[in-house]
Structure 1
């Protein structure tokens, strides 16, 4: 199977800080691969080395069969790039931004204009085609930035945190667009710290923590250890941490973890008996607002493999407004 992206022992430091410490992975042609990790894990630095914006201190890069180790920009004509911050011009319209990007790739005027109209239609931006990019919403800006990245119809696409900071509807639209591009055979490398997004989109993922890859595998295989596990989330009106010792003593068959001030995660290899848990907490003086059964997910695997607590992941979800 041919690999479109290969990273071998990539290293990059900034002063005393090792941002990337020996990262190796490969992405097969036509694959949608996720580089998953918390903020500061080294995802953006890794992708910048792969696209030629940063030179590795050590290691090798091959993109589209081209060795980019000595010439980082050698494969740029083969790739599309969607950075974490938009690089389009706020004073230009959406249509003119796309046409300008097409001109940079040497597209003829008629071809780039036709391609721009097709992309604006496909990305739901036709009505905003003549509006200045600076007046777009965050979600619209993200969609146009992706459109600009595929203006020249590259076979390989790099996306750095494509849904960060946008609303739920726009995030869903972007995920749908990426699934469509993948279905057309585009090789996609996606970096994200949204674990649920990686689970929905990617065939394989790599867990990147503190500049090192901890695990690489298919989503299906990663989920095997949590298959058959039972998870319940309890939400209380007050601080739930003060009841943890009592819960653990009363229900030793369950595992408990505080997610935030009012929430606790309950896990077991057998079905969780929600009624007794709720009654016990109420007897302890807690007011239980919600008890919800949850499907074990890639988040559970990520927590097990990386040691990063589920509470940290849940707080990140709350910061971005839930399940975007």
Structure 2
């Protein structure tokens, strides 16, 4: 298959279902050779009975593409390292990493126990970090050997990570951490030919079927705005050589809409050039807030 990712080797984590599956199929349709990672767990991260990664590989191969399955837990260093090795052992190279794996354990903060906090940060944030670290080590070695790659990383954040989400303190914190990790990685890895961006997608998956229940009615005019496949074209472009020069960015994408998200940056400022007392600091803060747009509401409020 020819396309904008012709012969690129692309790893997609959490690719057995939902967004990851859509990404894997879209990359394959654009000519990529795909490593389909899925640990085969349930929505809450507990082991599941099936092997969805193998099913996606079969779909890709049936359509004439190239793919291989990987089942290890990428939130462990060993699993993340084996993911990179699978790409290199199977196809001899690694060009693009798409970090997508995740699950939910939603609780209000007063009911959120430490295990549920740790589990969600582990798979989302630690899973992103470990795969990125092992892929980056390979790309750095390639650069030092005189073979600077045209490498791409696409991380998966969320509107919850940008705005917060009631009942999802663990998930929101993890997704916010992924944005910060993306910015750091983009700055650190540019010298090795690596571009790193993030998406904040909205689509119908196992994780969002309740959140978007009202948006899941029959599609109008044949366009299903909540279909995971709507997100994948941007991911494929970001994962291709065609995205040259785009790095350290966060894109929100839903249906047919793509938005470049603008993160924290300095707003109105007052400088006394001396230490404020508490009353003065409070008055200054209120003055500055009066000059500043109100923040977007937290999801669920």
From the two aligned structures, give the one with the greater helix fraction.
2
Structure label with greater radius of gyration: 1
Q: TM-score, normalised by structure 1?
A: 0.32
From the two aligned structures, give the one with the greater strand fraction.
1
